[in-house]
Structure 1
Amino acid sequence: MDYADRGKLGIVYGDVTLGVHGEDFHLIFSYQTGGLESMVKHGKEWLYRTPKPTFWRATTDNDRGNGFPFRAGMWMTADMFQKCVDIQVRIDGTKIEKPSAPVNNKYSDKETAERVEVIFTYETLTVPSTQVKVSYLVFADGNVRVRAHYYGKEGMPELPAFGMRFVMPTKADGFVYEGLSGETYPDRKAGGIHGIYEVEGLPVTPYLVPQECGMHMDTEWVTVKRSTVLDNRNRHIEQSGLTFRAGSEINHSTFAFSCLPYTAEELENATHQEELPPERRTVLCIYGAVRGVGGIDSWGSDVEEQYRIPGNKDIEVEFIM
C-alpha cells in the first residue's frame, strides 16, 4: 500500500511497540524502553539507543574550579537514569487508550492515520524530582516534530544543560549546519559569524583533561552524514543524512547542538585523552538551554548570572527531524 500517495501513515499496533511507517521510513516507539526505539530512513537505522532528555554536559576546568559539580552533580545521575512514568498515544489529534496488549488486539493490520503523536513522560532521579515530557508528532511526509519540556521546580539546582540526546549506531562522516561559526557557548559567541559550515569527522578538542567541547549556538539546522551501518554483510553504503531543523509552531527559534563521538559521561570519566574509548558512535545533542563556560579568571569565578540555567524555571526545545 502506497501510504505517501494517500497522504496517510501506516500504523502497526504491537504488543509492546507502536510502529509508524510511510514511504521509505519506519519508526518504532517502545513502551518498554520509553521512547523512539528505531528510526529507519532509506533503509538505514539512525538510532543505537532510545533518545532521552539530557541534563548534563561534561564539566570544564572552570566548572571544577568554582565547585559547580558539587552543586549540580545530581543532574549527571539524572542524565544516565530516567524513569518513564506515562505514555500517551494520539491518532489524528484524538487520545486513545494505550494500545499495548491486549488492547491492541482490536486493531487490524491495515490501520492508517494522517498524524500520530506519542508522548512520553519521564521522572527525574533528583531530590526533589520533577518531570520532562517528550512528544513525537509524526506527519505523513516523514517529518517528525519533537518537543521536550522540562518542568521547573523549587529546590532544584542549576542545570548544566537541557535538551535531547540521540546516539547513532556508527561514527558519522561529519555534519553540516547553519548557525554561528566555530565552537560557541552562551557567553562565548560574540565572534561567531552566521553562515553554513561543514565539519569533517567528529572533532573533540584535545584538552589535556577531556571536558565539555564542540557546542554550536543559534543553529537553524544541522545534517548528520553517515556512510557506515552495523550490518556485517555490508558496513559501507552510500552516504546519506538526517536533518534536524529548528522551529516552533508558535514562533521561529533556534537551538544549540553538539555532535561528538562520546557521551558527556564518557568525557567526564576520562582524565587524559588516551583514556577515551574508541570512536564508535555518533552522539548528537539538541539543546534548548546550555550553561555558559565562564573562565572570567580561569579557575574560581562562577559563570555570570545571565548564562546560568535555574532549575525552577520551565525549559522547552522543539525541532523537526
Structure 2
Amino acid sequence: TGMDLFVIENGKVIQGGLVADLNIGPRQTQTLTLPIKANYKEGKEYFLNVYYRLKTAEPFLEKGYEIAYEQLALAGMPKGNTYADVKKTLNVTKNEDKAIVKGADFNITFDLKKGILTSYNVKGQELLTAGPKPGFYRAPTDNDIGAGLNTKLRMWRNVYDDPSNDIQTSVTSTPNSAQITITSNLLKGDEKTIQVFTISADGTIKVDNQFKAVKGNYKSLMRIGNDLQLNNNYGNIQWYGRGPGENYIDRKTASLIGNYKSTVDEQYFPYARPQESGNKTDVRWVSFTNKQGKGLRFEFTDHLLSFNALPYTVEDLDPEAEKKQYHSGELVKRNQIFVHMDLQQLGVQGIDSWGSMPLIQYQIPFKDYAYSYYIKPVK
C-alpha cells in the first residue's frame, strides 16, 4: 500500500507528503521517517491525517482505493476563547416583563417572565428568535426506544417550559457591558439552572450555564445543553470539529477533526423512523451565515461543544411514549433552524443491537454540570 500524509493546522491542511513504498507484513512493525517538517506555532493545534491506499488494483478494488485512515494529534491543544473588553457604550432598559440591551448596531431582548432570550437583532436583521435556554432531551433514536428511554427519561422533555417553574432574574450593567442572570428551579426544585448572559458593547454574548442536581433520583439525562432557534436565512454552516457526517460521544473517532462546510438542509439523515440526527462533537467553533456571509458564530471557552442544527423540532422527531408509526418522508421542514449547543449528548449505544444503556462513560448522570461559550455576530 501507499500512505498519504497531511499535516493539519487548526483544521486546515498546511503540508502534504507520501510514503510510496510501504510493505509491512501482518503483525509486524516498521519505523518510518515521514516526509514532513515540524514547524509548530504557539497557540495552534496540529494533527497528522494518514490515508492508506492500494498501490495497484485488486479484484473489485481500483488502484488508489482508500482502505484505512487515521488521525494523530501532533502538538498543541484546543484553546478556549476569552472575553475582550470593548470600549463602546450600551443602553439597558428594564421593566417587570422585559430587559432590552441596545448597542450601536444591535438589540437583544429578554423575556424576564419566561426566563429566555427572545430576540437578537443585528443591523436590522433578526438572528436569534429564542434561546439559548436549558435543554435536557433529544428526539429518541431507535436504540433509545429499544432501551425504553422515550418513556423513562420523558420528564426532561420541555422541562424548562413548564409554567410551574420558579424563575428569578436580575439585570446589572456598566457603561459598556450588561449582565442578565436567569435562575430557574425545575421539577419542583429537583433541578436548578443558572444562566448568566454577559453582553459586551460589540454584541458578543458570553453564555455561562450551571446545572445543579438538588435532589431526587434520576437515572440519566439525554443531553446537557441549550436549545436555540435561528432565523431560517442563516442556513450555511461552517465548523471546526469532528465531521463531516454525524458523530456522537461513543461514535466519533472515525470522524476526523477538521474545518467543514455544509447546510442545515443537509444535516438530517432520513432514517426510516424520524429521530435524533446530525450531531457533531469536539467542536471548537461553529458559524451560521446567510448568502452574504453574515450571521452568528459560537465559540467554546472551557469545554468543547457538541451541536446539531435541523429544520425540525424535537417534537417533530419524537414518536411520543406510545411509539407512533410514521416515516422521515412525512416530515415537513419548518421556517426556523432548531439548534442544540451542548456540553454533551447521551451516547447512541447499540452494544446489543438495542435494549441496553450506553457504556457508563457515555451516559450523563444526574449531577452538577457547568460550561460556557460565546455568541458573536458575524458582520
Q: Distance in 2 between matches of 1:194 and 1:39?
A: 30
Inter-CA distance 84–148: structure 2 relative to 1 (3 Å threshold):
farther
- Whole-angstrom distance in 2 between the partners of 1:70 and 1:254: 30
**Are 1:172 and 1:281, in contact at CA under 8 Å, matched by a contact in 2?**
no
1:148 aligned onto 2:148 = no
TM superposition shift of 1:278: 2.8
Is structure 2 residue 194 aligned with structure 1 residue 194?
Answer: no
How far apart are 1:281 and its partner, in Å? 0.9
Q: CA deviation at 1:77?
A: 4.3
1:60 paired with 2:123, answer: no
Q: How many Å apart are 1:154 and its aligned residue?
A: 4.2
Unpaired runs of 5+ residues, structure 2, are 1-84, 320-324
Alignment of 1:21-170 (within 5 A): 21-78=102-159, 80-81=161-162, 83-92=165-174, 113-124=175-186, 126=187, 129-152=190-213, 153-170=215-232
> Aligned pair in 2 of structure 1 residues 279, 119: CA closer, same or farther (>3 Å)?
same
Q: What amino acid sits opposite 2:148 in the alignment? A: G
Identity among equivalent pairs (%): 29
Q: Alpha carbons of 1:275 and 1:263: their partners in 2 closer, same or farther (altered >3 Å)?
A: same
Contact 1:128–1:156 (CA under 8 A) maintained in structure 2: no
**TM-score normalized with structure 1 length:** 0.81
User: Which residue number corresponds to residue 308 of structure 1?
Assistant: 363
Q: Distance in 1 between matches of 2:96 and 2:354?
A: 54
User: 1:48 aligns to what SS in structure 2?
Assistant: strand
**Residues 128 and 155 of structure 1 are in contact (CA less than 8 Å); yes or no, is this contact kept in structure 2?**
no
Report what 2:297 is aligned to. Answer: 243
Q: May I ask how many residue pairs the two structures share in their alignment?
A: 282
The one-letter code of the counterpart of 1:245 is E
Q: Are 2:338 and 1:286 aligned?
A: no
RCO (CA 8 Å, sep 6+): is it higher in 1 or 2? 1
CA deviations 1:106-136 (Å, max 9, x no partner) are xxxxxxx222110111222x36632111110
Residue 79 of structure 1, CA deviation: 5.2
Instruction: Name the CA distance, whole Å, in 1 between partners of 2:87 and 2:211.
Output: 36
Unaligned runs of 5+ residues in structure 1 are 93-112, 228-237
Which residue does the alignment assign to 1:318? 372
Shift of 1:310: 0.6
Which amino acid in the other structure matches residue 103 of structure 2? G
d(CA) in 1 for partners of 2:300 and 2:354?
34
Q: CA RMSD in A?
A: 2.1
Q: Is the 8 A contact 1:33 1:50 kept in 2?
A: no
Structure 1 match to 2:277: 213
Aligned equivalent of 1:295:
350
Larger CA Rg, structure 1 vs 2? 2
